[in-house]
Structure 1
Amino acid sequence: MMSSPMWTVPRLLLAALAVLWALPAHAGQLVRVGAAHFPPYTVRPESGADTGLLPQLVEALNRLQSDYQFVLVPTSIPRRFGDFKQARVDMAIFENPDWGWKDIPHTTVDMGLEDAEIFVAQREPQRGESYFADLKGKRLALFSGYHYEFANFNADPKTLAQNYNATLTYSHDSNLLMVLRGRADVALVTRSYLSDYLLRNEKVADQLLVSQRIDQVYHHYAIIRPTAPITGEAFGKLLRGLRDNGQMLKIFQPYRIAVVPVPDS
């Protein structure tokens, strides 16, 4: 039996509506966020695994609104400046203007997040906080590409090796193992990473001496290209939204990353 023409049109309309409902909602303007290996913020993004705090932040930003779709673009600590200048990425997160950005046109957005770089040595009898007062003659284990305040933010590997007796790696775990095995005297590690490391390696906690001395406080900023799809003002409003709904605390507090007040712009 053939369908009545009267019923054919409504059925076609319903079918069309069903197709539209099945399509994904408009995702908004694409904002490419540079993802460089910087644990625990970003962990080996080139592997394609969404691990670290940056993927969590991006997911929270995308859940918050639909005007922008934030996506991660793998880069590296040294390469991120070139990727930014050549517009391969629109923004870099967990940055600081002192880390080589001053001559690159950009807008900064205060993220209201603070971490710290601290000194770690092997615990020994009679060794205390004074051990970290003078680094001369000590073998240092550093993360390649990082800008350290004690070295005037000079990240050049040759300078660090020659002037500070430093071994550079791409792994905080490796640097801490060097200290534990007596191959380095002092490692510099982000407080957030050390907190996570000690949770994963409880047995070595009493073997490590953690300094009260801080090399630098990481006050995190977002660095945005002048022609990026999102403005600094708009991104700042999104971050305020995450602060207000509690997502910033939920993501960062477990890693001892402080969520601090942001001055009015």
Structure 2
Amino acid sequence: MGIASRVLLAALIAVFALPATAAQLVRIGAAHFPPYTIRPETGADTGLLPQLVEALNRSQSDYQFVLVPTSIPRRFNDFKQGRVDMAIFENPDWGWKDVPHTAVDMGLEDAEIFVAQRQPDRQQDYFSDLRGKRLALFSGYHYAFAEFNADPKFLTGQYNATLTYSHDSNLLMVLRGRADIALVTRSYLIDYVLRNPDVDPQLLISERIDQIYHHYALIRPQAPISGEAFNRLLQKLRDDGQMLAIFQPYQIQLVPAHDH
């Protein structure tokens, strides 16, 4: 074969190989939501979302998933304006009703629970009535007890709530007597107690659950990946045990997907 023919053949091979090897970039919004995403704006790659993204990228080559830092309040506009293609560990009920999206059930469940300071006379019935109690809440979260109304004025006015951007701060408020009850994600509380084992005996943890987090991935209509394609990638991670390895340590349950 002549030199010119070999050069032409190599060029053709390179051209035809390109579509197969060029992964499509999929940008996932990363808002501070521990232990799922922890301070993404600092460039830290800790949390469950970075672990999931790493597993997704390792398991296939059609898509390259990257994290784009956002925030709880800003994530809606970032999604609508196309700065991100996907929001993960979300629920369509959390303010997404008027935002066009495709919801993919991730088959993951977590819970929001109540935590108080342990005292000799305190039992589970302490959590049954929130009236007159000082609540420590995470700003921007949608709570079931408040009918998913995240408006700060409503929460401070109706529920005597202090709003922060830190579960750690809310738990410390409870431990120091500055708040009566904090609401925290169960997976976060497990992580917190692992990091602060001396705190465990000081906390009264509710059997009452404010809400079950059934997690969805929300995909923008113009995203480079479809809901069906992303669902297949998640199923692959479920089948090979990677989803279990990532989420089981935090007592995040793998459950059958259901229609929303």
Pick the aligned partner of 2:133 from 129, 138, 145. 138
Letter in 1 for 2:29: G
| CA distance in 1: counterparts of 2:153 and 2:245, whole angstroms | 40
- Alpha-carbon distance change, 99 to 171 in structure 1, aligned in 2, over 3 angstroms: same
| CA distance in 1: counterparts of 2:132 and 2:138, whole angstroms | 19
Pair 1:193-2:188 in alignment: yes
| CA distance in 1: counterparts of 2:22 and 2:146, whole angstroms | 44
Quote the residue 1:230 is aligned against: 225
Instruction: Report how many aligned residue pairs link the two structures.
Output: 248
* RMSD of Structure 2 on Structure 1 (CA): 2.0
**What aligned pairs does 1:10-89 form with structure 2 within 5 A after superposition?**
26-89=21-84
TM-score (norm 2): 0.92
Quote the residue 1:91 is aligned against: 86
**Partner SS for 1:138:** coil
Pick the aligned partner of 1:162 from 157, 161, 165. 157
Unaligned runs of at least 5 residues, structure 2 = 15-19
Larger radius of gyration: 1
Letter in 1 for 2:239: D
Letter in 2 for 1:66: S
Unaligned runs of at least 5 residues, structure 1 = 1-8
Pair 1:105-2:73 in alignment: no
| CA distance in 1: counterparts of 2:71 and 2:195, whole angstroms | 25
TM-score (norm 1): 0.90
User: Contact 2:117 / 2:204 at 8 angstroms: preserved in 1?
Assistant: yes
Deviation per CA, 1:81-132: give whole Å up to 9, x if none: 0000000000000000000111111000000000000000000012100000
| CA distance in 1: counterparts of 2:40 and 2:258, whole angstroms | 32
**Partner SS for 1:240:** helix
| CA distance in 1: counterparts of 2:87 and 2:51, whole angstroms | 15
Deviation per CA, 1:5-45: give whole Å up to 9, x if none: xxxx9xxx9xx9xxx9xxxx945000000000000000000
- Alpha-carbon distance change, 182 to 102 in structure 1, aligned in 2, over 3 angstroms: same
Pair 1:207-2:202 in alignment: yes
Identity of aligned residues (%): 79
- Alpha-carbon distance change, 244 to 213 in structure 1, aligned in 2, over 3 angstroms: same
| CA distance in 2: counterparts of 1:28 and 1:74, whole angstroms | 21
Quote the residue 1:150 is aligned against: 145
Pair 1:129-2:118 in alignment: no
User: Contact 2:105 / 2:259 at 8 angstroms: preserved in 1?
Assistant: no
